[in-house]
Structure 1
Amino acid sequence: MATSENTRKQTQIAIIIILFLSSFTAPFILLFPIQELLYRPHDYYLFETIFKAYIILMFVLIAMAIILLINLLITPTTKKGRNVQRTIVGTSWLLVLAILFLCINHYQIIDEKGLHTNNFFSLQEDSTSWEEIVKVEQTNVQKDGVTKPDKLIFTLNDGSTIEQSLTAKLAKAKAFINYELSKSGITIENVYSENE
Structure 2
Amino acid sequence: MNTSGYTISKKQRTDIKPILVTIAIIMILSAIFIPIFLLTPFQEQFYKPEGTWVFEAPKSAYITFSTALAAAAVFIIAGVWLHSADKLGKLGKIIIGCGFLFSLATVILSFDYYHYIDKNGVHFNTLFSLQEKHYHWSDIKQARQTVKNEMGVMSDDKLIFTFKDGTNYEYLMNDNIRKARSETNFELEEHGVELIRETLN
**TM-score range normalised by the length of the shorter chain:** 0.7 to 0.9
Structure 1 equivalent of residue 5 of structure 2: none
1:83 to partner: Cα distance = 7.7
Q: Give CA-to-partner distance per residue, 1:28-64, whole Å, 9 cap, x none.
A: 2211211112211111011110111211121111112
Given the alignment of the two structures, is residue 4 of structure 1 paired with residue 11 of structure 2, yes or no? Answer: no
Distance 1:129 1:92, change over 3 A: same
Instruction: Choose 1 or 2 for highest CA Rg.
Output: 2
Given the alignment of the two structures, is residue 18 of structure 1 paired with residue 26 of structure 2, yes or no? Answer: yes
Given the alignment of the two structures, is residue 109 of structure 1 paired with residue 119 of structure 2, yes or no? Answer: no
Amino acid paired to 2:41: P
1:119 to partner: Cα distance = 1.2
Given the alignment of the two structures, is residue 135 of structure 1 paired with residue 142 of structure 2, yes or no? Answer: yes
Question: What SS class does the counterpart of residue 4 from structure 1 fall into?
Answer: coil
Amino acid paired to 2:177: L
Report percent identity of matched pairs.
32
Structure 2: runs of 5 or more not aligned: 1-10
Q: 2: CA distance between counterparts of 1:160 and 1:12?
A: 43
Q: 2: CA distance between counterparts of 1:161 and 1:4?
A: 53
What is the Cα-based RMSD across aligned positions, in Å? 2.6
- 1:76/1:82 contact within 8 Å kept: no
Q: 1: CA distance between counterparts of 2:151 and 2:97?
A: 51
User: Whose helix fraction is larger, Structure 1's or Structure 2's?
Assistant: 1
Q: Which of these residues, 15, 33, 38, is aligned with residue 30 of structure 1? A: 38
Amino acid paired to 1:96: S
Q: Which of these residues, 177, 183, 191, is aligned with residue 170 of structure 1? A: 177
1:72 to partner: Cα distance = 2.0
The count of corresponding residues between Structure 1 and Structure 2 is 190
Amino acid paired to 1:97: L
Q: With the length of structure 2 as denominator, give the TM-score of the two structures.
A: 0.81
Q: 1: CA distance between counterparts of 2:188 and 2:180?
A: 12
Amino acid paired to 2:68: V
Q: 1: CA distance between counterparts of 2:70 and 2:122?
A: 33
- 1:24/1:58 contact within 8 Å kept: yes
1:164 to partner: Cα distance = 2.5
Given the alignment of the two structures, is residue 72 of structure 1 paired with residue 80 of structure 2, yes or no? Answer: yes
Structure 1: runs of 5 or more not aligned: none
Q: 2: CA distance between counterparts of 1:75 and 1:143?
A: 50
Amino acid paired to 1:45: W
Q: 1: CA distance between counterparts of 2:167 and 2:97?
A: 42
Structure 2 equivalent of residue 151 of structure 1: 158
Distance 1:60 1:130, change over 3 A: same
